Amino acid sequence: MKRQYYDNIPSPCFVQEENKLISNLEILKYVRENAQVQILVALKGYAFWHSFPLIKKYLDGASASSLFEAKLIYEEMGVKAHTYCPAYLKDDFEEIANISKHLTFNSLSQWEQFKNSVKSSVSCGLRINPEYSEIDVPIYNPAVQGSRLGMVKAMIPDILPEGIEGLLFHVMCEQDSYVLERVLQKVKEKFHKQLIQVNWLNMGGGHWITDKNYDVNHLINLLNKFHLEYPHLQLILEPGEAIGLGTGFLLSTVQDIVENNGIKTAILDVSFSAHMPDTLEMPYKPNVRDASTDAANSQFKYRLGGISCLAGDYMSEYGFEAPLQIGDQIIFEDMIHYTMVKTTLFNGVKHPSIGVLNKEGEFELLREIPYEYYKYRLS
């Protein structure tokens, strides 16, 4: 039995399924409309810019964390970004300020450095750190002790500097509104004095709003309750992952099958290190279509091996219903958010093409990544 799902899609290829994106956007729109909250897409988590015109119909814009992200938002969504950088660079600042409508500063010293270069049309804010987070993985936790991200209560004056109009916090990752409720409680306890002086509060990302278990109505009630307490505040959420969650896959193909001491590895034309770095960084085991991530009870077990030379570029065994063969397609699910954004050209391995299965289910090839792109990044 040959595993062949698509005969018109080149391998490897990141493929967005437009209908799934629309389903996510409908959920986010429902929240926006019922909770008086602005929702932005955070480019660090989702930058599939072919879909920006569609996203613009549903959301309130986008958030950037660098000049390049702000430029992509301006060029492809046609709006000015809500921008936050851990540190703005002197050489970039004027350009970034020209294409941003909100600028959030990570420290008072950054604010002091740049406050005189900001035009009055830009609304400025400070990032606060409530020193509370329920994220277990330290590398993803901006509230760890000694974090460089945001100002803790002891660092922020009771009376905010003139010109500061907003606050931003970001301390969540793939979490629900019950976590947000506890975070908001801490934010109120620590920053009430500042909250009453500003006119917007950006609650960052990490809101897994489009996950099937997310209690959307609890979020709406929570935000509406918060709004009653602080009616002067424009509330903002800037999820990245929730936009692209479950909206597409990475198609790959088995190139060879090797066996060493009873361990069979199917070597693919993709790399975990270069094309799915989160799988090794977090780490997590991605779902593969029609395969079990738990191979314990499977007759046909295979490691999936990357095409780079890194020894650890593989995923431990998956269970399949039948033996794998060279030429079989292996589909990694849910690869359109952080995965795509974080790819590299490590080892010079071919970068996956990029395409979309449109609303009608027809495949459109959007981009192939040529050798020149690899060469250009080196010298």
Cα distance between residue 312 and residue 176, in whole Å: 33
CB of 34 to ligand PLP, least distance (A): 20
Stretch that binds ligand PLP, among 28-36, 202-210, 256-264, 298-306 (CB under 6 A): 202-210
Q: What angle do CA 141, 194, 100 make, to 5 degrees?
A: 70
What strands lie across the sheet with 62-64, from one edge to the other? 37-39, 234-237, 200-202, 164-168, 123-127, 100-105, 81-84, 62-64, 41-42
Position closest to ligand PLP via CB: 205
Q: Token match 């970004």: residue?
A: 81
Cα distance between residue 65 and residue 165, in whole Å: 19
* Residue 248 DSSP code: E
User: What is the size of the binding site for ligand PLP (CB under 6 A)?
Assistant: 14
173 forms part of the interface with ligand PLP (CB under 6 A): yes
Cα distance between residue 274 and residue 239, in whole Å: 24
Cα distance between residue 237 and residue 45, in whole Å: 13
Stretch that binds ligand PLP, among 66-74, 198-206, 249-257, 286-294 (CB under 6 A): 198-206
Stretch that binds ligand PLP, among 40-48, 188-196, 275-283, 367-375 (CB under 6 A): 40-48
Structure-block tokens of residue 242: 């929730």
> What is the C-alpha radius of gyration for the chain, rounded to an integer number of angstroms?
22
86 versus 163: smaller Cβ distance to ligand PLP? 86
Q: Which one of residues 125, 204, 305, 355 is an interface residue with ligand PLP (CB under 6 A)?
A: 204
Binding mask 218-257 for ligand PLP (x = CB under 6 A): --------------------xxxxx---------------
Binding mask 124-163 for ligand PLP (x = CB under 6 A): ----------------------------------------
CB of 241 to ligand PLP, least distance (A): 4
> Of the candidates 132, 129, 102, which has an alpha carbon nearest to the alpha carbon of residue 198?
102
Site residues (CB under 6 A) for ligand PLP, limited to 45-64: 45
Q: What angle do CA 28, 30, 35 make, to 5 degrees?
A: 95
239 versus 305: smaller Cβ distance to ligand PLP? 239
108 versus 149: smaller Cβ distance to ligand PLP? 149
Q: Which one of residues 206, 248, 305, 306 is an interface residue with ligand PLP (CB under 6 A)?
A: 206
204 versus 248: smaller Cβ distance to ligand PLP? 204
144 versus 257: smaller Cβ distance to ligand PLP? 144
Stretch that binds ligand PLP, among 4-12, 71-79, 131-139, 203-211 (CB under 6 A): 203-211
Q: Which one of residues 205, 248, 277, 355 is an interface residue with ligand PLP (CB under 6 A)?
A: 205
Stretch that binds ligand PLP, among 13-21, 116-124, 199-207, 267-275 (CB under 6 A): 199-207
Q: For the chain, percent helix, then strand, then coil, each to nearest 5?
A: 30, 25, 45
End-to-end CA, the chain: 46
Which residues have CB under 8 Å from 256's CB, separation 6+? 266, 267, 326
Extended beta strands in 226-289, E state: 234-237, 248-260, 263-268
Q: What is the contact surface with ligand PLP in residues (CB under 6 A)?
A: 42, 44-45, 84, 170, 173, 204-206, 238-242
